[in-house]
Chains A and B, each alone.
Chain A
Amino acid sequence: MSAQPAALRSKSELIEKWSKPEVITGSEMLLRSLVLEGVECVFGYPGGAVLYIYDAMYGFSDFHHVLTRHEQGAIHAADGYARATGKVGVCIATSGPGATNLVTGIATAYMDSVPLVVITGNVVQSAIGTDAFQEADIIGITMPITKHSYLVRKAEDIPRIIREAFHIASTGRRGPVLIDIPKDVSAAKGLFKPVTEVNLRGYNPTVTPNKLQVDKLLKAISEAKRPVVLAGGGVVYSGAHEELLKFIETTQIPITTTLLGLGGFPSGHELWMGMPGMHGTYTANKAIQGADLLINIGARFDDRVTMKVQGFAPNAKIAHIDIDPAEIGKNVPTDIPIVGDVKAVLEILNREAKRTDLADEWRAQIAKWKREVPLRYEDSDTELKPQWVIEMIYETTKGDAIVTTDVGQHQMWAAQFYKFSKPRSWITSGGLGTMGFGFPSAIGAQMAFPDRTVVSINGDGGMQMCAQELAVCAINNIPVKVAIINNQVLGMVRQWQEIIYDNRYSHIDLAGSPDFVKLAEAYGVRGFRATNKQEAREAWEKALAHDGPAVVEFVVRKHENVYPMVTQGNTIDEMILGDA
């Protein structure tokens, strides 16, 4: 294949060039099909069962391949790429352990509806089922955590399967699709014909909503005295942030955005109440509980949002807009179900929606809550506070960075104190809560946007779950700025053990962690450490100014809790507000 860079080869040129029937190997068909899907970057790790595929990639330059240091790094990077761009993320791993190392990443993407195409090798077809070397039934293992999967049986099927997989992954409710390619299939030769049409009889996502239900919602809006919008990841995924802003500005309905919905609505807006749920704001939680109309736009009533379901939004008529019919009524009984693409639904709503004139008192009440009980923390001049670090990162990046996080306290503080205003700038594992996600997902985001500032905020625990990918940043000069909020402990677990388990701190001490500055430097990445505000600002600004990847370790107070907090078994208005 030509060594011409991808940018110079347009898709139509390639279709033209490749439309003549040609006998090539399954591996070459795979690469061509990926290019025809517009793939620019794949993340992967070679091994025995994908050797033909990697052989075909030798000297191939129609897309980038990023060699990670662990398959888990590859899939989280593909996930970060997909969340940052909205395009399908692609990763490749070999059979057996290569494939099983992807499992956590596939589940992460599935829970958060992220479009991925995951390609695994498998042993030759004649060896399948014999417990062959590096054989694992990855289709069976991943069935509950993929939107769909394929075992490829002959090379000629590859173009069709790739086309279908990209279509399935990137339409309807997005999700990961796995393609398992036995080694003999990637080696076999066959006639290559590009496939552009998709014919899937059992797959027709509903995009346009039922007009009757939309009219019902419009009527409910016009009658509402205490309306609330709960917006989720669906807003971001369907690209509906402008339509949502228009809807809110027209109707003047106060809005709360879920963890995955952050960035779907400008957080500086006066009607924005912050995040709801377990670590949601006082205002958002009180508003949901007091609402007479709750409009869920592309969220799924996750248990971290609803907490105790009996008693959630007890006075509200519930409207639920979702592309996935199965989400409607799954967790919370719904009065007005609207199945459709969030953007399409909002466009229709925006034609007729009017200001909620009966809700002036309600808006005043919400403004009062926001004023009286804002998010807050007790700052310190002697100790570095994690919330302050997040605010400092927000200021120094002017709120303009792509921020990825790991899972735990730092994730909640980032969600609370980094004020997102643009969609796809916030990348976090919400549903599965995957530690180890934060750093590699930033590599994916940075590959998609080489010129944007990409900040990865991690705890000292999660950073050690994928730290090996520092090598990838170093060798490729991928300039991710890694913040490690180091409290020397598994902070969120510590918080639960303090509050719920009566200060019985069981196995949470992370003493013995490496010197993160030295760790970074061992990989050839710049490292900094900060223990007070002045050092923190200086180190961080140096890291931002550095033309390449950098790690900043912020040594923060150990005993710091995320507030507000709703403990399990309580309704969301039963909040522990903390001592600030």
Chain B
Amino acid sequence: MKRHTISILVNNQPGVLQRVAGLFGRRGFNIESITVGESEEPGLSRMVIVTTGDDKTIEQVGKQLYKLIDVIKVVDLSVSPMVARELALIKVHAEPSARPEILGVVETFRASVVDIGASTMIVQAVGDTDKIDAIIELLKPYGIRELSRTGVTAMIRGNR
């Protein structure tokens, strides 16, 4: 069971997310994360889905996706060197006395503080999944009030 990051170019039609997500659901494919947004071409959106499965399953994922009329292109990014990033907003308990320490963590991860409340801070972190997992681990001792992650978006490096 390997993790695969799959990029899907789709027609930006109502219901297209339901078609793709529904396909994964009914065929028993796993979705670890899913992101959707506009692509470089008007009228088309790009979805990035992180999934796990053996080779046979991943082959089926691609083939079944292509059967959807609104799917234009499917690329398994993980077979090439890729940039994969997600963004996390972490609301952490931060009494004034704890803030310098927290800022130390934030700086190390090249994250940033985007909001400060009376006893909280919102930390914004961008990076691959491992990096986000790591900063969350380090912030846990201070008390995480709320966590929101976007899921991974990705593309292949270089000219391709």
Contact = CB atoms under 8 A, between A and B. Distances in A.
A330 B27 CA distance: 11
B56 A326 contact: no
A512 interface: no
Given A143-B18, A202-B72, A330 B60 contact: yes
A324 B68 CA distance: 12
A200 B60 CA distance: 22
Given A144-B26, A202-B71, A325 B66 contact: yes
Nearest to B68: A202
A148 B13 CA distance: 12
Contact of B14 (A143, A144, A151, A202): A151
B67 A168 contact: no
Contacts of A148: 68-69
B53 to A, nearest CB: 14
A201 interface: yes
A329 B59 contact: yes
B13 to A, nearest CB: 9
B19 A326 contact: no
Contacts of B71: 202
Nearest to B63: A326
Contacts of B10: 202
Interface string A115-149: 00000000000000000000000011001100110
Interface string A300-321: 0000000000000000000000
Interface residues of A, number: 17
B26 A325 contact: no
Contacts of B119: none
Contacts, number: 39
Contacts of B26: 144
A203 interface: yes
B63 A325 contact: yes
Interface string A14-40: 000000000000000000000000000
A174 B141 CA distance: 58
Given A144-B26, A325-B63, A200 B18 contact: no
Contacts of B52: none
A482 B22 CA distance: 40
Nearest to B73: A202
A168 B69 contact: yes
B70 interface: yes
B60 A151 contact: no
Chain B interface category by residue count: 20 to 34
B28 interface: no
Given A326-B60, A326-B64, A143 B19 contact: yes
Interface string A173-214: 000000000000000000000000000111100000000000
Of B15, B18, B26, B71, the most chain A CB neighbours within 10 A belong to: B15
Interface in A138-171: 139-140, 143-144, 147-148, 151, 168
B67 A324 contact: yes
A334 B51 CA distance: 24
Interface in B29-76: 56, 59-60, 63-64, 66-72
Contact of B18 (A140, A202, A203, A325): A140
B72 to A, nearest CB: 5
A148 B18 CA distance: 13
B11 interface: yes
A168 to B, nearest CB: 6
A245 B70 CA distance: 38
Contacts of B68: 148, 202
B15 A139 contact: yes
B120 to A, nearest CB: 37
Given A326-B64, A330-B60, A202 B22 contact: no
Contacts of B64: 326
Contacts of A330: 60
Nearest to A204: B66
Interface in B62-120: 63-64, 66-72
Contacts of A203: 69
B72 A201 contact: yes
Contact of A326 (B11, B18, B67): B67
Contacts of B15: 139-140, 143, 151
Interface of B: 10-11, 14-15, 18-19, 22, 26, 56, 59-60, 63-64, 66-72
Given A148-B69, A325-B63, A326-B63, 6 more contacts: A139-B15, A143-B18, A151-B14, A202-B68, A326-B67, A329-B60
23 contacts: A140-B18, A143-B15, A143-B18, A143-B19, A143-B22, A144-B26, A147-B69, A148-B68, A148-B69, A151-B14, A151-B15, A200-B69, A201-B11, A201-B72, A202-B10, A202-B68, A202-B69, A202-B70, A324-B67, A325-B63, A326-B60, A326-B64, A329-B60
